[in-house]
């Protein structure tokens, strides 16, 4: 699905108008997309959660994965709104019990994420939700984890796609035909 189909022009304008550019954060040369003004606006945040929950319904998801940390803020209410369970994918060392780990590179560093081995039931279809798709490394690693944990990827949905970083192209093989929905693309 394309960006235009995932959100109306009105919704895109509402969301984009509440994302703030912060130059040279967290390091020189990076323009950081700050979503805190959007989170502080209940109309915009509510509309965002509704749109993400609608995507979970549309793709027949049975679980929503949120990617630490900003992904949690969007994914947890979207899962509750869609009436399905939320699963956290966390930075390494934060989850108790048995976990699976995956390393990856992002726009400004490297990281490792984990999921609990018993997070999914047989037949689960998982929608991954995050705030930003940049290089695609985080989302790609999460899809690997979901499949290693025995679940099926229903899709990836993000608030904002930074098209110039090529995340969509990088993610395509890992999506293996599953949809990538971005509500706003720049």
Ligand X SMILES: O=P(O)(O)OC[C@H]1O[C@H](OP(=O)(O)OP(=O)(O)O)[C@H](O)[C@@H]1O
Ligand Y SMILES: Nc1ncnc2[nH]cnc12
Contact footprint for ligand Y (CB under 6 A): 30-33, 106-107, 132, 134
CA distance 80 to 186: 28
CA distance 38 to 17: 8
Nearest alpha-carbon partner for 131 in 37, 27, 2: 37
Which of residues 18 and 33 has its CB atom nearest to ligand Y in the complex? 33
Question: Whole-number minimum distance, CB 165 to ligand X, in Å?
Answer: 7
Which among ligand Y, ligand X, none contacts residue 32 (Cβ within 5 to 8 A by kind)?
Answer: ligand Y
Which among ligand Y, ligand X, none contacts residue 133 (Cβ within 5 to 8 A by kind)?
Answer: ligand X
Which of residues 31 and 121 has its CB atom nearest to ligand Y in the complex? 31
Question: Whole-number minimum distance, CB 27 to ligand X, in Å?
Answer: 11
Which of residues 32 and 86 has its CB atom nearest to ligand Y in the complex? 32
Looking up tokens 């229903």, which residue turns up? 154
Instruction: Indicate which residues carry an active-site annotation.
Output: 70, 107
Which among ligand X, ligand Y, none contacts residue 12 (Cβ within 5 to 8 A by kind)?
Answer: none
The full 3-state SS of the chain, as one line of letters, equals CCHHHHCCHHHHHHHHCCCEEEECCCCCCCEEEECHHHHCCHHHHHHHHHHHHHHHHHCCCCEEEEECCHHHHHHHHHHHHHCCEEEEEEECCCCCCCEEEEEEEECCEEEEEEEECCCCCCCCEEEEEEEEECCCHHHHHHHHHHHHCCCEEEEEEEEEECHHHCHHHHHHHHHCCCCEEEEEEC
Which of residues 40 and 121 has its CB atom nearest to ligand X in the complex? 40
Question: Whole-number minimum distance, CB 183 to ligand X, in Å?
Answer: 14
Question: Whole-number minimum distance, CB 98 to ligand Y, in Å?
Answer: 29
* Residue ranges in contact with ligand X by CB under 6 A: 67-71, 106-107, 111, 130-138, 167
Which among ligand X, ligand Y, none contacts residue 30 (Cβ within 5 to 8 A by kind)?
Answer: ligand Y
């Amino acid at each position: 699905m394309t960006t235009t189909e995932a959100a109306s022009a009105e919704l895109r304008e509402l969301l984009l108008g509440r994302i703030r550019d912060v130059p040279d954060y967290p390091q020189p040369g990076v323009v950081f997309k700050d979503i805190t003004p959007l989170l502080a606006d209940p109309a915009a945040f509510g509309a965002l959660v509704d749109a993400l929950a609608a995507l979970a319904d549309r793709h027949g998801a049975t679980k929503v994965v949120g990617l630490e940390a900003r992904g949690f803020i969007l994914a947890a209410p979207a899962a509750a709104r869609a009436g399905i369970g939320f699963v956290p994918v966390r930075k390494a060392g934060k989850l108790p019990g048995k976990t699976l780990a995956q390393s990856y590179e992002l726009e400004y560093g490297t990281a490792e994420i984990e999921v609990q081995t018993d997070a999914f039931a047989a037949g689960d279809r998982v929608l991954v939700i995050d705030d930003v798709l940049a290089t695609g490394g985080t989302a790609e690693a999460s899809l690997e984890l979901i499949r290693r944990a025995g679940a099926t990827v229903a899709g990836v949905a993000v608030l904002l796609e930074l098209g110039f970083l090529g995340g969509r192209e990088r993610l395509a093989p890992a999506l293996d035909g599953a949809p990538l929905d971005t509500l706003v693309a720049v």
